[in-house]
Chain A
C-alpha cells in the first residue's frame, strides 16, 4: 500500500519513511507542500500523512484543495499545534485523523492502519482464532485448547481488540481509548494491570504465550513462529 508523507522536518520525515517502510508500506516522502500536493493529485495513494505547518503551502490548504478536486484519500494530520480549533478545522476540511507532536511512532502506525482498514469493508467475522485460542464473538466466549475461559466484559473487549489486530503493536493510549473511551494520555499503569490479568487467564496456564509486551511501545497478540515454539 502506498503512503505519501509530506513533512518538511528532515529527521522526522526520514524516520517516518523508514518506520513505515519497515512496517511494510510503500512510502513516498515529499519535503514541501507544493511537491506533496502535486504528488497527491497525480499519483494514487492509500493514505496521506500531512504535516500541518509546512513552509510553503499548509497541510490544511493541501487537504482542502485535494478534497475540492474530489480526491477522497484518507488524510492523517501531524501537528505541533494542539488547540481544539485547529483539530476541528483540520477535520472539517476533510482530514480523517489528527496526531499531535510529539507522538509515539507506534501510535501513528496504529492510526494509519485504522484509516487504511476503514476503506476496506470488514468481513463480519463470528470467530477469531490465533493458534489454539478461539474467540467466539457471537456467544462472547473465549476458549483455549478447547477449555472455556471466563472473561469479564472489558477483558473480552481487550482480547477482541488484540486479536482483530493480530501482530500489530497496540500502544497503551490506543487501548485505553478503544476499550475504556479514555481519550487522553494517562500516566497510570492501568493498561499494564489489565493486560497482566488477561494474561493470567489466557497465557499463564499454557506454555505457549500469545500476548507479548513490546517494550516501550505496547502490546500485541501473535502466535509464535513454528520454529520458535518450544
Chain B
C-alpha cells in the first residue's frame, strides 16, 4: 500500500507513455495521506497547547512578582506613614522593609529628592518615567535589563507626595521559563514523531487485511472461481467490500459455468452431425458404389450440413443480440394480427397432429419488429405443437397485465415440466432430458431466440407448468387421452409499451 508497491504493469505502461505519466501521477499513498493529516493536526494542537502553557506560566510569575512587590510597597508605605520614626532613623527602618524578600529593591523619593535607595540598584529612571500607581498591577509591570540582570518593577504612590519605586530580579523566572520552553518544544516534536509513527503503523496494520485479500485474489483462475473471502475475519470497514467481492465471484462463476456448459453443448451438438457425415462418407468410400448411392450420400450429408448451417446462423444471431448488434425495426404492430398470421402458418401442421389453435383477447397496437415477433411466436408455437398432447387445444391469449402493460400467454396441454427445468428452458441447448437426442427439431436454440427477441422488445418471458386434473385435460381436449402427469404448460410474455419505446430510442 506504499508507492513502491506499484505493480509491474503500471511501470511498464508508464515507461511506454512518459508524456502521459506527468498528467496521471499515481495518487499519494494512503499512509502518506494519513500521516500528513495527523502530523498537521498534532503539530497545531501541540503548538497551541505549548503557547497556552507558556503564557499561563509567564502570567503566574508576573502575578507572583506583583504580589511580592505589593507587600514590599505596603511595608515601605507603612514606615513612611509612621510619624514616630525620625528622618535619621528612616533609612535603617526602610532597609528592614525588604528583609526576607530576596532580590527585591526599592527607592523612595519625595519631590524629586531621593529619600532612600536600597543597595545594589538605581531606580531613579523608573521614578521619573513611570506614572505612580495606587497598587501594583501585574499587567502593568515594566521590565528592563540592568547589567547582567533582568528586573521587573513599577512605581507606587507613597504618602505625602512621595513615590516608591519597587523592582524585583526575575532572572530566576526567566531561567525557569527557558528550560521549560526547551522541554516543551522537545515534547511537541517528540509527540509529533511518535504520532506519525503510530499513524503509519495503524495504516499499515489497517491495510493488512487488504494485502491478504490481494494475495487471495491473485489465486483466482478460470478453474478456481469458487474462491470466497471470509467476512468474519475482515474489519467492519472492509466487510462490504468482501461481500461485494464474493458476490462478484459468484456471478462470475455462474456466468463462466454457463459459458463452459455452452461450449460443451455446442461441441456436443456439432459432434452428432459431424459423426454422421464422417461415418457415412467413410463407409461409402469403402468400396465402389452406384451413382444412386453416391447421390444418397450427398443428400444425407446435405441434410446434416443444413442442420449445422441453421445452428450456426442461430448461434450467430444470438451472439449478435448479446452484443447489441441487432436492432429491432420498431413499427406499431397489432399483436393479434401477428399471432393470427403465425397461427395460419402452422395451421396445417397443427391439424396434422389434430391440435386446435385458439386465439383470444386483444391489446392495442405496440411498437415491435414484425419479423422478429413472428419468429418468436413461430418458435413458441412450434415448441407447443411439438409437445402438446394429441387432440388438445393450444391457446394464445392477449390480455392486460395486472402490473400494467400487456401479457401474451401461449399454453398447451402436455407433460408436466419439473420446476428445476422451467427457468432453464430458455438456456441455449438446454435439454429437459439430456439423454434424449433431438429428432427433427432445432438445435435447442429456439426458446433462447424467443427470449432474446422478447428482451429486445423490453419484455420478459417465463415458463409455467401447472398441474391439471385429468378431467380438465379431457374438457380441453377433443378426445380424452390419459397421460401420466398432465399439465398446462404456459409461456407468458409480459411487455409494456413504454419499455419497448425506450428501447426504440
Name A's interface SS.
loop
A193 within 8 A of B: yes
B371 within 8 A of A: yes
Q: How far is the CA of A189 from the CA of B378 in the complex (A)?
A: 12
B217 within 8 A of A: no
Q: How far is the CA of A216 from the CA of B297 in the complex (A)?
A: 11
- Interface stretch among B95-103, B340-348, B357-365? B340-348
Cβ contacts B423-458/A at 8 Å (1 or 0 each): 000000000000000001111001000000000000
Q: A185 touching B349 by the CB < 8 A rule?
A: no
Cβ contacts B55-82/A at 8 Å (1 or 0 each): 0000000000000000000000000000
Q: B375 touching A184 by the CB < 8 A rule?
A: yes
CB-nearest residue of chain B relative to A216?
A: B302
Q: How far is the CA of A217 from the CA of B299 in the complex (A)?
A: 9
B382 within 8 A of A: yes
Q: A182 touching B446 by the CB < 8 A rule?
A: no
Q: Which of A100, A183, A188 has the most CB of B within 10 A?
A: A188
CB-nearest residue of chain B relative to A181?
A: B341
B122 within 8 A of A: no
Q: In the complex where A183-B371, A189-B440, A216-B302 touch, is A83 in contact with B341 (Cβ < 8 A)?
A: no
Q: How far is the CA of A181 from the CA of B345 in the complex (A)?
A: 9
Q: How far is the CA of A185 from the CA of B307 in the complex (A)?
A: 11
Q: How far is the CA of A181 from the CA of B329 in the complex (A)?
A: 16
Chain B residues with CB under 8 A of A124: none
B residues sitting closer than 8 Å to A (CB atoms) are: 299, 302-303, 306, 309-310, 312-313, 316-317, 320, 325-327, 329, 341-342, 344-346, 348-349, 352, 371, 374-375, 378, 382, 385, 440-443, 446
Q: A84 touching B327 by the CB < 8 A rule?
A: yes
A215 within 8 A of B: yes
Name B's interface SS.
helix
Q: In the complex where A180-B341, A180-B344 touch, is A190 in contact with B349 (Cβ < 8 A)?
A: yes
CB-defined A-B contacts under 8 Å, sample of 13:
A82-B320, A83-B325, A100-B313, A180-B344, A181-B341, A182-B374, A183-B371, A184-B375, A184-B378, A187-B443, A187-B446, A188-B382, A190-B348
Q: B374 touching A84 by the CB < 8 A rule?
A: no
Q: Please count how many residues in chain A sit with their CB below 8 Å of the partner chain's CB atoms.
A: 26
Q: How far is the CA of A100 from the CA of B378 in the complex (A)?
A: 21
6 extra A-B contacts, CB within 8 A, seeds A180-B345, A182-B345, A188-B346: A84-B329, A104-B309, A185-B310, A187-B310, A187-B382, A197-B348
Q: A187 touching B441 by the CB < 8 A rule?
A: yes
A residues sitting closer than 8 Å to B (CB atoms) are: 82-85, 100, 102, 104, 154, 176, 180-190, 193-194, 197, 215-217
Chain A residues with CB under 8 A of B303: 216
**B375 → A minimal CB distance (Å):** 5
Q: B345 touching A176 by the CB < 8 A rule?
A: yes
Chain A residues with CB under 8 A of B443: 187
Q: How far is the CA of A185 from the CA of B329 in the complex (A)?
A: 18
Q: How far is the CA of A184 from the CA of B445 in the complex (A)?
A: 14
**B45 → A minimal CB distance (Å):** 66
Chain B residues with CB under 8 A of A184: 371, 374-375, 378
Q: How far is the CA of A83 from the CA of B348 in the complex (A)?
A: 33
